[in-house]
Structure 1
Amino acid sequence: MSTRKIILSELRENYTKGGLAEEDASPDPFLQFENWLSQAIDAEVIEPNAMTLSTASAEGEPTSRTVLLKGLDEEGFCFFTNYGSRKARDLDANPRASLVIHWRELERQVIVRGKVSRTTEEESRDYFRSRPYGARIGAWVSEKQTSIIPDRATLQNREAELQAKWPEGSDIPLPPFWGGYRLHPDYIEFWQGRPSRLHDRLLYTREDTRWEVSRLSP
């Protein structure tokens, strides 16, 4: 074990990169999110579409992991995964989830909560076809995602088999065990770090077909 002593209480940042005022925010949370995402891309944030997805099993056991935002429209936030994965099993049993998108370089984060449903097979197929060759092969290799395997060679051997079956340029079919989910938000919170920990927090909550905007205490 390392002998280095880490004093966690001394690790801190003073956030000074901006504010978030009601008059500057869009009344539409999806437009507000797109604005912030565009700014994160312009700031060259690494993987600006990375987000933490938190789910819970039927027994209430929580799990969080990082996934990539791959679709955004007025219906919600889309990501894609193996339908046999732990996250998929959680969502089948308990179809509500939370997302956190953190843009450290901009001192911002967005929290999203809502109900989750599967995307259509057509949506899943369209996205699957847009993926690079290696990622499409990889989806088939990890058919039994999260299962215990003896070693890495098991994956590499399966990859070689599938590459021989579907050489580059082949029309690789959508795996029947793979597809998308869409989180339909009813809660979207935009957080902007501010000096002295007096952060700006604007909360959008859905009321029927419209969104209410409130300021939260930091």
Structure 2
Amino acid sequence: MTDDTEGADGEAFASTEDPFSVIGQWIDDATRSEINDPNAMALATVDPHGLPNVRMVLLKGLDGAEHPERGFVFYTNLESAKGKELAATPKAALLLHWKSLERQVRARGVVTPVTAEEADQYFASRPRLSRVGAWASDQSRPLESRFALEKKVGQFTAKFGIGDIPRPPHWSGFRLTPVEVELWHSRPFRLHDRVVFRRADPSAPWIGTRLYP
């Protein structure tokens, strides 16, 4: 895939039958070029009142072609606001935007829990203090003071000592399997390249359509 001001990149993703092949390449490009968190994405959910709720999270997995229902994987405290919202309404939207590359990916679809094995494997790869923090933080709930948080971190640090830190039962991940994906690439004078891919369900083939910018 090329990336020049003549828009060859746009032609490439307009002709693909699988947007994930482009997304994987774009993430690789961002990993090499973005200074901070090339895997940062905005995740939108729906709260109990039907209002949208959006925050930044980190994309921790993009399924390969061998996965039957390819999707975007992220992790969280299941008792957090987003964890509860996804349990109640298992649908979401996400946005990846790379300013320096002038590209973005939008996706919407259904959300399902990852397997316990997936969650265990990722949790074990996290820095030790991040694993302690997963036990210490009652994410999204009121906190009386910074000291109270630091005290709980100290308590769990002492509890686990130098041994293994198991994954908390309230901490796991989700997979957003999209039924709609839009690839966007900047072009001069705001005449951008936009191609949207839609499918009836996660097992159906993609249908791509170029959009006006």
TM-score w.r.t. the length of structure 2 is 0.89
Equivalent of 1:202, from 192, 195, 201? 195
- CA RMSD in angstroms comes to 1.6
Listed one character per residue, the Cα deviations across residues 116-158 of structure 1 (whole Å, up to 9, x for unaligned) are 011111111111011110100010011x211111100001111
1:64 is matched with 54
Q: Larger Rg: 1 or 2?
A: 1
The DSSP-based 3-state class of the residue aligned with 1:38 is: helix
Structure 1 unaligned segments of length 5 or more: list them: 1-15
Structure 2 unaligned segments of length 5 or more: list them: none
The DSSP-based 3-state class of the residue aligned with 1:97 is: strand
Q: Work out the CA distance in 1 between the residues paired with 2:102 and 2:12.
A: 20
1:94 is matched with 89
TM-score w.r.t. the length of structure 1 is 0.87
Percent identity, aligned pairs only, is 44
The DSSP-based 3-state class of the residue aligned with 2:53 is: strand
User: Bigger CA drift: 208-217 or 172-181?
Assistant: 208-217
Listed one character per residue, the Cα deviations across residues 21-67 of structure 1 (whole Å, up to 9, x for unaligned) are 33455321111100111111122342110000000123211111000
Listed one character per residue, the Cα deviations across residues 72-130 of structure 1 (whole Å, up to 9, x for unaligned) are 11420000000001111111111110000010001111001000011111111111011
Q: Work out the CA distance in 1 between the residues paired with 2:176 and 2:194.
A: 21
Number of corresponding residues = 201
1:6 is matched with none
8 Å contact 2:187–2:193 — kept in the other structure? Answer: yes
Change (3 A) 1:163 1:78: same
Dislocated runs of 4+, deviation >6 Å: none
The letter of the residue matching 1:174 is R
